[in-house]
Amino acid sequence: MQLSREQLIEAYRRMRRIRDFEERVQAEFSNGRIPGFCHLYAGQEASGVGICMNLTDDDYISSTHRGHGHCIAKDCSIEGMMLEIFAREGGLCRGKGGSMHIADYSKGMLGANAIVGGNPPIVVGAALSAKTLKNGRVAVSFAGDGAANQGTTFEAMNLAVVLKLPAIFVIENNGYGEGTGVAYHVGAKGADGKPDLAGRARGMGMPAVNVDGADFFAVYEAMREATERARAGGGPSAIVTECLRFYGHFVGDPQLYRSKEELADVRANRDPLKIFRARVSEARLLDEAQLDAVDAEVAREVDAAVRTAEAAPFPDVRELETDVYVSYV
Amino acid sequence: MQLSREQLIEAYRRMRRIRDFEERVQAEFSNGRIPGFCHLYAGQEASGVGICMNLTDDDYISSTHRGHGHCIAKDCSIEGMMLEIFAREGGLCRGKGGSMHIADYSKGMLGANAIVGGNPPIVVGAALSAKTLKNGRVAVSFAGDGAANQGTTFEAMNLAVVLKLPAIFVIENNGYGEGTGVAYHVGAKGADGKPDLAGRARGMGMPAVNVDGADFFAVYEAMREATERARAGGGPSAIVTECLRFYGHFVGDPQLYRSKEELADVRANRDPLKIFRARVSEARLLDEAQLDAVDAEVAREVDAAVRTAEAAPFPDVRELETDVYVSYV
Amino acid sequence: MPKKSYRQAINEAIAQEMRRDPTVIIMGEDVAGGFGGSGEQDAYGGVFGVTKGLLGQFGAERVIDTPITEAGFVGAAAGAAATGLRPVVELMFVDFVGVCFDQIYNQAAKFRYMFGGKVKTPMVLRSMVGAGFRGAAQHSQFLAPIFTSVPGLKVVMPSNAYDAKGLLIQAIRDDDPVIFLEHKFLYDTEADVPDEPYTIKFGEAAFTREGDDLTIVAFSRMVQMANQAADVLAKEGVSSDVIDPRTSSPLDIAAIVESVERTGRLVIVDESTPRCSLAADVAALVADRAFHALKAPIKTVTAPHTPVPFAPTLEDAYIPSAEKVEAAARAVLASSARAAAE
Amino acid sequence: MPKKSYRQAINEAIAQEMRRDPTVIIMGEDVAGGFGGSGEQDAYGGVFGVTKGLLGQFGAERVIDTPITEAGFVGAAAGAAATGLRPVVELMFVDFVGVCFDQIYNQAAKFRYMFGGKVKTPMVLRSMVGAGFRGAAQHSQFLAPIFTSVPGLKVVMPSNAYDAKGLLIQAIRDDDPVIFLEHKFLYDTEADVPDEPYTIKFGEAAFTREGDDLTIVAFSRMVQMANQAADVLAKEGVSSDVIDPRTSSPLDIAAIVESVERTGRLVIVDESTPRCSLAADVAALVADRAFHALKAPIKTVTAPHTPVPFAPTLEDAYIPSAEKVEAAARAVLASSARAAAE
Ligand SMILES: Cc1ncc(C[n+]2csc(CCOP(=O)(O)OP(=O)(O)O)c2C)c(N)n1
Ligand SMILES: Cc1ncc(C[n+]2csc(CCOP(=O)(O)OP(=O)(O)O)c2C)c(N)n1
Ligand SMILES: [Mg+2]
Ligand SMILES: [Mg+2]
């Protein structure tokens, strides 16, 4: 593991940011302060951060309706995000996109996407740019277990293999697409009888691995290999991260489709932050005080972001018809 | 092999019909007597017939732009087909569909389809009908190697596995999608370095086999197993038939993308009719005279079909606006 | 008569038809919800609970949750419809049509014509339309014009609970493919809805207000805005026909023409973006067929030529409002008065 | 000036832009044709040979054959455009849009707005439109209205070789996503086409005939029918403006309104099916903005509300003909004469 102390702290910071951010969004949403829908990433932190700690701002990622975590993992400003989620003029999308459409091209974040399966083809395009322009970048598609069934996902995978592109397909298997369980919706089963998303990706002609998506280190390592291969011209890979969401599909979801036991188990045994802390403490890589300091710092950041967002103006109604085109007669 | 003499003769008859029909269409088209585009099935006869000899009129098939062979394999009237291809009122689609849209529901032929990848979902629906209505039917999707890359094909496969439907996905790998070779357009490669369409289907969670699509007996046997499994409630299967087309993608295609050697080899060594004749003669299942009699009979049939078609009227212009709806205000 | 919500009316229509006809099935994402999970099986009943309870009544063979593969399962509905079932398939938000449009417009809609009239495809595609929920650009569109433009489809958009039930039962019994557009803003609106099954014929407009000075044609939720505007104008002595065509294909153009021949003035209200919209469609038909009766320009009130924005300040300005309808009506009235004075 | 075909003009536009700008690439099915086969590599150059020769000039890194996965590669074009390339992507027949529409209307078209104006998506989607080739229901559609209705897209449909080159170069240089619709019937038509690169601005209509009695607006191939009809009428002393908007989005409505204000009479010719068509769109705009100038009903000449039939007898009746345009024009003229007489 080549991670420096600074990198470990940064990884923890981003995971903590995601957790705090999402818990705060959950609270603010429930208080009626956030319009629309929100899909929270809490519980899946190690997946997004384990992937993105391998990337620079020049590399590309593209995300889903559950995009807050990916943005934060890719180091987007949480203030800009919070403003956007609060529908304010100063948001990353100037209040026009909202939770499901956050993008920050300056960070290589090509956008959340409210169409399930919408983003994998777009990532193939970003990888094609990288290959054509020979700038050494890689492009990462995040998609859920549900999205993995969309035809676009398969098409994108085949295209990336055919054109040997530096694309990486991360499938975050959190067990559900809305209320429907992966054991039902993915027909392919492995030798263990479990849904075999990695096998399906391998069938498309690329290396694919399954990793524990609650374990930052496992995700990081799998991504390190995939990224090296991609940058070396070795073509695409797939990484299936097995993780679980703490909350419902959307904020407000009563989650009737999940048993009480499952929900309790998730928080007790599958918390990526707890697991990370335990690992770095055991291995004496970081001490508790450092981690606590990050916690405190992040809490302040998130709080400040909410306060900024609350105080910010909504977009002026004249913005309704701007930015449809770069230019139009 | 449980095929009776009558069945063998019938199989040969359908293969011969396809060959004669297609060669005649090629000639008539070149003479300017057939409007539009035609995609010929000659060379792939053993695939369609090997599959359909396992089916009854109640079972369903759905086809592609290269649909003549599948129609004939499913015992559609060649007169009705020829009338349709000649755009005549008496055609199977009353002149409104043409070569790319021949359908005959009385024979379980749900239609050719000019959208590559358009038919696999439709077949899933027919299989769903069969399962819901518990009528023991199976539904077969024919698709090419090119169509196998369409997202709809993957979606249909997964859906059929999830719902355990009596659907069979036949992928006719004739080496090309238009001018693009399968070695290029299918990213997945097997251990032998060749495109692995069966492996991809297996990855989707269903049994899949590769068979020699020029060998009627190999196709028939693979389909027998798949059909039994489907009728017994064992769910979908895939069969990849490796075959080659004698003609170009469409009538008139100069086929620059194929070498002269390839073209010569196809006719010399990959002719399903020659192979069939050799096999049944060697095994003394049928004698040459019987087969010659079929040839003569089919030649007359095809000739009669063309004469009927040539003499038949075009649809009256009043037909333009009929049959858009069952009823419309 | 019992008061029921639009949501209930739809649920009841489906349940009654499923009871009556064993070939009716429903399918879509989370139409039950909970399959393959560790908890309950009818957990969702559709994301807005419209199909809740049907699983318990009809079982998993007829209430079918699908993977997220709209092209796959909408195409399957078409194939099932052509082979003996009457599927009611749900496309959760109409915005998702882009991933399965081929199966709708090239397949289901064209089977009958392409195959020479020898096939019928009795499927219903239910889908949610409309802005106002802060759902942003990919969860708020109206898109009815795209379906309306397709020969072979029928397009239905109830504006109230009573119509929803009658039109949906008609849609399920209908032998052609029907696109049934439910406005998400209307689910909680109530109306008197009979318990018995009943049908409403396609292509028959409803008049929600009657008058002689102005014709307002409005679709789906926009009927509310039209009614409000008409009520304001009525207080000033301007009486309006408000016409809810209920189906855009077939369209009851005869009723509209008849009205315009009486009033001479037309405003059309449509939540679509303006280009090639339902509003444009109706305006064009009237500018041809009732031209000589017109006393003033035809005004349309639509969404602007923009995606649907997220921010409430912007989205509220995006949706046609009663005020905008009123303003359009006043412009038409003023213009005809000026013309008469000239 | 050298005579060139519409096909050559398009090829030349692409080649010149690829030479000028290394970020321009082309991709699609068989845009070269022959990859992975046993024969030649530039075997097709597009199914109608439009992109023939580009592989030899620019190599396989910039002339990219794709598998048959339109959603995949059209989406890839959008993603590539957002990250520094200028892809010219080919959707072979526009009829296939149903399998990739999401990537066009929810993704490429909306990026800029959804992301607050911070992104541009300079892609061109070239596609073949139109009936007349006996291609039947799934290879003959026009579909321009569907694109025109989408905010965020520009929609271009050249009616001749000269315009094809200038509009395509403009499209490639344009920073917004452009749908470029090539009528398959026009590939062999010729015009004077300069060798040098040139651009034609979007939203500027061309007048192919000028006159004061009647305005005929026609799109794409229909400009031919309009010209023929105008020429017949001219012999009888009726002079017409024939307006080719060239782009339906943006639309040069100012030119149309100005003309109708002069002529008072309008016929619109559009190969679309009638509902929510380009014809309806233009009619609605004029019925609002130039109402008081109108002397007669606005007539539209479109395809019927049917799929495209295969049989030549039917397809020939499907396509708007010069005779139908003439008949519509005569109806408009007669109606205004009657009105004047009253
Ligand atoms: C094309 C499309 N179909 C359906 C939906 C509705 N929808 C939104 S999220 C979701 C579930 C996605 O599941 P998954 O991919 O596993 O992601 P997760 O929510 O678990 O992160 C569905 C069905 C959509 N937004 N787009
Ligand atoms: C959606 C769609 N994309 C592209 C085409 C154009 N097209 C027609 S046939 C064909 C090749 C199909 O290849 P394959 O599936 O291997 O079938 P084959 O022609 O070899 O029988 C293509 C690209 C189409 N008809 N539909
Ligand atoms: Mg999931
Ligand atoms: Mg092939």
Structure confidence by residue, pLDDT tens digits, B11-39: 999 999 999 999 999 999 999 999 999 99
Condensed to tens digits (0 to 9), the pLDDT of residues D202-224 reads: 999 999 999 999 999 999 999 99
pTM over 0.80: yes
For the stretch A216-268, pLDDT in tens is 999 999 999 999 999 999 999 999 999 999 999 999 999 999 999 999 999 99
Tens of pLDDT along chain A (329 residues)?
Answer: 579 999 999 999 999 999 999 999 999 999 999 999 999 999 999 999 999 999 999 999 999 999 999 999 999 999 999 999 999 999 999 999 999 999 999 999 999 999 999 999 999 999 999 999 999 999 999 999 999 999 999 999 999 999 999 999 999 999 999 999 999 999 999 999 999 999 999 999 999 999 999 999 999 999 999 999 999 999 999 999 999 999 999 999 999 999 999 999 999 999 999 999 999 999 999 999 999 999 999 999 999 999 999 999 999 999 999 999 999 97
Per-residue tokens: B123: 């077949």
By most ligand atoms within 8 Å of CB, the mutation choice from A70, A116, A244 for ligand 1 is A116
Supply the residue whose CA is at minimum distance from atom 17 of ligand 1: A144
Q: How far apart are CA D225 and CA D326, in angstroms?
A: 9
Centre of ligand 4 from the C-alpha of residue B217, in Å? 21
- From C31, C66, C68, the mutation candidate for ligand 1 (largest count of ligand atoms within 8 A of CB) is C68
State the amino acid at position A60 in one-letter form. Answer: Y
Rounded to 5 degrees, what are φ and ψ at D126? -90, 140
Q: Where does residue D172 rank: exposed (0-12), middle (13-18), buried (19+ CB within 10 A)?
A: buried
Tell whether B151 lies on the interface with A, counting CB pairs under 8 A.
Answer: yes
Residue A152 near chain B (CB below 8 Å) = yes
Mean pLDDT throughout B132-144?
98
> CA-CA distances (angstroms) from residue C55 to B66, B128, C17, C35, C46?
41, 17, 14, 11, 11
Contact D309 B181 (CB under 8 A): no
User: What pLDDT score was predicted for residue B183?
Assistant: 98
Is the pLDDT at B207 greater than 70, yes or no? yes
Please spell the DSSP secondary structure of B201-243, one letter per residue.
HHHTTS-EEEEETT-HHHHHHHHHHHHHHHHTT---EEEEEE-
Instruction: Kindly state the percentage of chain C with pLDDT values over 70.
Output: 100
The strand pair at D190-192 and D3-5 is best described as antiparallel
- Residue D191's φ and ψ, nearest 5 degrees, are -155, 170
Q: Choose the mutation target among C29, C314, C315, C323 for the interface with A, i.e. most A CBs under 10 Å.
A: C314
State if residue D99 touches ligand 2 by the CB under 6 angstroms criterion.
yes
The amino acid present at B239, given as its one-letter code, is I
State whether D37 and B177 contact (CB < 8 Å): no
D294–C291: do the CB atoms touch at under 8 Å?
Answer: yes
Residue positions counted in chain D: 342
Residues on chain B touching A205 (C-beta within 8 angstroms): 186-189, 196
**Binning pLDDT at 50, 70 and 90, where does residue B205 land?**
very high
Confidence of residue C340 (pLDDT cuts 50, 70, 90): confident
**A159, A196, A204 ranked by CB distance to B188: nearest:** A204
Cα–Cα distance measured from residue D278 to residue A321, given in angstroms and rounded to the nearest whole number = 22
Q: At what angle do helices C70-81 and B119-133 cross, to 10 degrees?
A: 60
Verify whether ligand 2 is closer than 6 Å to residue D136 (CB atom). Answer: no
Concatenating the DSSP letter of every residue in D67-124 gives -S-HHHHHHHHHHHHTTT-EEEEEEEEGGGGGGTHIIIIIIITTHHHHTTT------E
Query: What is the pLDDT, as a whole number, of residue A1?
Result: 57
Q: Spell out which residues of chain A touch residue C135, defining contact as CB-CB under 8 Å.
A: 36-37, 114
ipTM: 0.98
SS3 C315: helix
pLDDT band at D1 (very low <50, low <70, confident <90, very high): confident
| Ligand 2 close to Cβ of residue D285 (< 6 A) | no
Three-class DSSP category at A43: coil
Task: Kindly report, residue by residue over D176-206, the tens digit of the pLDDT.
Answer: 999 999 999 999 999 999 999 999 999 999 9
C232 backbone dihedrals φ, ψ, rounded to 5°: -60, -50
Q: Which of B150, B153, B187 sits opposite A205 (nearest CB)?
A: B187
Of C139, C183, C292, C305, the catalytic one is C139
Put simply, the chain C residues between 4 and 43 with a CB less than 8 A from any chain D CB are none
What pLDDT was estimated at residue B2? 79
Residues A251, A252, A254: CA angle, nearest 5 degrees: 125
Tokens representing A191? 């030798």
- Say if ligand 2 is within 6 A of residue B220 CB: no
Write the single-letter amino acid at B168.
I
Per-residue pLDDT, B1 = 57
Does the pLDDT at position D20 exceed 80?
A: yes
- Mean model confidence pLDDT for chain B: 97
Per-residue model confidence (pLDDT) at position D281: 98
Beta pairing partners, C64: C27
Q: Is C139 a catalytic residue?
A: yes
Instruction: Sort out which chain D residues have CB atoms less than 8 A from B113's CB and list them.
Output: 138
Active site residues of D: 139
Cα-to-centroid distance, C128 and ligand 1 (Å) = 16
CA distance A127 to chain C (A): 22
Q: Measured in angstroms, how far is the CA atom of residue A184 from the centroid of ligand 3?
A: 12
**pLDDT tens digit string along C103-145?**
999 999 999 999 999 999 999 999 999 999 999 999 999 999 9
Q: How far, in Å, is the centroid of ligand 1 from the Cα of B146? A: 28
Given CA atoms D206, D210, D216, D221 in this order, what sign does their dihedral have? negative
In chain C, the percentage of residues whose pLDDT exceeds 90 is 98
Using a CB–CB cutoff of 8 Å, tell me whether D36 touches chain A.
no
